[in-house]
Amino acid sequence: MLLWTVFLASAGMILYSGTRLSRYGDVIAEKTGWGRTWIGVLLMAPVTSLPELITGVSSAMLNLPDIAVGDVLGSCVFNLVILASLDLIQRDKTISAKAHHGHVLSAGFGILLLSLVSVSLYGGNRVAPFGWLGLYSIIMLSIYVFAMRTIYSYEKREIARFIVEQAEEFKYEAVTLRSALTKFSLHALVVIAAAVALPGIGAGIARMTGLGQSFVGSIFIAVATSLPEVVVSLAAVKIGAIDLAIGNLLGSNICNIFILAMDDLFFIKGPILSYANSNHIISSLASIAMTAIMIIGLTYRSEKKLLFLAWDSMAVLLLYLSYLMLLYMFR
């Protein structure tokens, strides 16, 4: 009972401070004049992935590779479930019909990185490491840097459809940049503190329930560390910023694979994917399939809904249910 109480308390802290991080990130964008689109790419996606980073690094240092890998890949799956669920609060049109087609770029990079993870999980020890690092980590970091540069260059050429920053009124005249930076840092520390506790809690829940670290990491820990993405995305959709919500979720998935490479850096026994359970391929392939469905939806842009959901969103949610069953069967 105590483990579940601490788990819920940690999740609540992440939820509360994740909300505040989003607001103060917006203040920083306004005060610095850097622009909300670039702040979203540079700051918000990595910040909403901060719990995954802290949890993953902590798990790696505590020799819990399945918690670290399960959290990252499970979060990728859950982010796509969040994206599909956004259709429920959109009444007039489907998410895919209102979104900009440029999100296909982020989704494509996500599939590329997840494919590399799948091959690396399958390869195990067959590929010689680079020191204690897996060769895949170096490739992941290179692809991540290239992806961020490419997405930034693309965004510079495109005019954002939901916001014109030059004409936007200042919303935070009463808040100073120093105050925003201070509060942003404080809430980041709260998220870090809560996330640090999650690996030990996850290992305890795995032992107590007998579900195993792979299952607990991919479901319970992944959901808890994805709470900031939930908060930011819901807030964005409510103000009509559909592209901000989608960009945050797909950007977070790219950041998650970057985090996996960071986890490998702190897992000094050897390449982390060589020590992780091969069942994590289920999460990786599920993420690839869900992302592919989203790309099809963004390209086809259906405006009709079936039972409050577009067909692509419904397909993603059904795939998630199948994923849960497979993960439980092979736990």
Per-position DSSP letters for 49-77, written without gaps between them: THHHHHHHHHHHHTT-HHHHHHHHHHHHH
For residues 79 and 252, what is the distance between their CA atoms, to the nearest angstrom?
Answer: 8
The pLDDT of residue 91 is above 80: no
CATH 3.40.50.300 fits 2-329, yes or no: no
Please classify residue 234 by burial: count the beta carbons closer than 10 Å to its beta carbon, then call 0-12 exposed, 13-18 middle and 19+ buried: middle
Least trusted range by pLDDT, from 79-88, 222-231, 292-301: 222-231
Q: What is the pLDDT of residue 41?
A: 58
Burial 118-153 (b: 16+ CB within 10 A, else e): bebbeeeeeeeeeeebbebbeebbebbeebbeebee
pTM of the model: 0.78
Q: What is the pLDDT of residue 257?
A: 92
For residues 49 and 230, what is the distance between their CA atoms, to the nearest angstrom?
Answer: 11
The pLDDT of residue 42 is above 70: no
Does residue 260 sit in helix, strand or coil?
helix
- Per the DSSP assignment, residues forming a β-bridge with 130 are 133
Can you tell me which residue has the tokens 């510079």? 156
Average pLDDT over residues 281-287: 92
Average pLDDT over residues 256-274: 89
Share of the chain above pLDDT 70, in %: 78
Better pLDDT: 105 or 18: 105
Strands (E), the chain: none
φ, ψ at 59 (rounded to 5°): -65, -40
The pLDDT of residue 161 is above 70: no
For residues 289 and 43, what is the distance between their CA atoms, to the nearest angstrom?
Answer: 27
φ, ψ at 246 (rounded to 5°): -65, -45
